[in-house]
Amino acid sequence: MPFGFTDLEEGEGPEVEDGWLLAIAYTGWLYDKAAPDNKGSEFISVPEEDPDSFRFGVGQVIPGIDQGVAGMRVGGRRRIVVPPDLGFGAQGNTLVPGNATLLFEVELVAGAEVAFEITDLQVGSGEEAENGDSLSMAYHGWVYDLLAPDNKGDTFDSTTAENPFDFTLGVGAVIVGWDLGIVGMRVGGRRRIVIPHELAYGAAGRQPRIPPYATLLFEVELLAVN
């Protein structure tokens, strides 16, 4: 069975673009010509209330899903037939046998371009942080979540003023998003920084708390310039 898709419901939201962060709900079946609606054994189901997130167009998911959601609009539903070469191939995986053609019904729950972004929550009145300075910071870090309140998904790390994080700015001691996002802060200031994966931990992530291609959200406070 060749690759193909059918729109079950047209979405009314924006159309997905390469690099967007997407949240999808879906059910997957083994494709069966003899089964009603070709739905053989169900091997996975992800509900709308707890969708999966991935970066579109970067190879984070099987090619059949990347190709199958292209052109969808947020709120849309689509039926996607995925042949083995665009699925799990000759080897399969723990849920899918080798050389299996798959059938998915996918709902695009949310999607957006999530770019590097800095927002000052409180402008400090002390010394300004410059490249080469040794800084003391308190911070909280979350995995960015399209659907979570204020986009604050799972917490992966935090420090406090009583146990600050010390580092030198602008020398590669931290992720690139921090070197870019903290320069210009003043002591006493607080800042929200959204950091896409290419300025954070990239395609590999940082297990166990930061998944591959994760966009990160930090709220940071500059305690001192040393």
Based on the domain organization, do 100 and 131 belong to the same domain? no
CB of 166 closer than 8 Å to CB of 41:
no
What local confidence, expressed as pLDDT, does residue 1 receive?
A: 78
Give 114's pLDDT tier (boundaries 50, 70, 90): very high
CATH number, domain containing residue 122: 3.10.50.40
Based on the domain organization, do 156 and 174 belong to the same domain? yes
Which alpha helices (DSSP H) does 53-124 contain, by range?
63-69
Based on the domain organization, do 108 and 152 belong to the same domain? no
Based on the domain organization, do 48 and 107 belong to the same domain? yes
Based on the domain organization, do 60 and 121 belong to the same domain? no
Based on the domain organization, do 67 and 152 belong to the same domain? no
Based on the domain organization, do 44 and 15 belong to the same domain? yes
φ, ψ of residue 82 in degrees (nearest 5): -120, 110
77, with CB counted inside 10 A (0-12, 13-18, 19+), is middle
Based on the domain organization, do 176 and 221 belong to the same domain? yes
CA angle 8, 9, 10 (to 5 degrees): 130
Neighbours of 105 (CB within 10 A): 18
Q: Could you tell me the residue range of the domain that residue 186 belongs to?
A: 117-225
**Structural domain count of the chain:** 2
What local confidence, expressed as pLDDT, does residue 74 receive?
A: 98
Give dist(CA 171, CA 100) in Å, integer.
49
Which alpha helices (DSSP H) does 58-203 contain, by range?
63-69, 176-182
CB of 185 closer than 8 Å to CB of 93:
no
Based on the domain organization, do 101 and 122 belong to the same domain? no
Q: Parallel, antiparallel, or unpaired for β 190-195 and 216-225?
A: antiparallel
- Tokens 């942080």 belong to 129
Q: 75, 95, 112: which is the final residue of a domain?
A: 112
Positions marked active-site? 139, 156-157, 175, 201, 218
Q: What's the token pair of residue 149?
A: 């309140």
Based on the domain organization, do 124 and 46 belong to the same domain? no
Average pLDDT over the chain reads: 97
Residues in the chain: 226
Q: 61, 79, 112: which is the final residue of a domain?
A: 112
pLDDT at 226 over 90: no
Report pLDDT digits (tens) over 145-183: 999 999 999 999 999 999 999 999 999 999 999 999 999
Over range 185-199, report the average pLDDT.
Answer: 97
Based on the domain organization, do 121 and 178 belong to the same domain? yes
Query: Does the predicted model carry a pTM greater than 0.85?
Result: yes
Kindly give, in sequence order, each residue whose CB lies less than 8 Å from that of residue 220, ignoring residues fewer than 6 positions away. Answer: 137, 138, 139, 181, 182, 185, 190, 191, 193
CA angle 114, 121, 160 (to 5 degrees): 100
Q: 112, 131, 147: which is the final residue of a domain?
A: 112
Based on the domain organization, do 213 and 147 belong to the same domain? yes
